[in-house]
Amino acid sequence: MTRYTGRRIVSLFPGLDQTLQDALLSAIENVLIEAEAERIWIEESPSHDLRVHAQLPPADAPPAPVVPIGTAPSAATIRSAVSVEPRATDESPPGCRPDTGAVE
């Protein structure tokens, strides 16, 4: 356990090619996100290796509820629930739809 109450997942030692290191870190991040990690972070050790940590849900945690797409709030519903008056500097440029910002 670390001071952030997570677990060390893997260490990458110095000297790896930058492209390989980036690909490995991206793959590890994707796997941790799929495992529903609550937080993911990297610390550098005194020996300059990168230590990937994650705060994972308990193994006995109930599965996340599945919300059917038809019952989930849409972006338009969420957006219409919040009403904020735009400032003059926030106005859309000519040719843009003010509700979506799309250019016609």
| Strand spans (E) along the chain | 7-12, 39-44, 50-55
Residue 26 has pLDDT above 80, yes or no: yes
Q: In whole numbers, what is the pLDDT of the chain averaged over residues?
A: 74
Other Cβ atoms closer than 10 A to 24: 15
Using CA atoms, how far apart are residues 49 and 88, in angstroms rounded to an integer?
50
Kindly indicate the confidence band of residue 3, based on its pLDDT and cuts at 50, 70 and 90.
very low
| Residue-range domain boundaries for the chain | 7-55
Instruction: Give the position of tokens 């997570």.
Output: 6
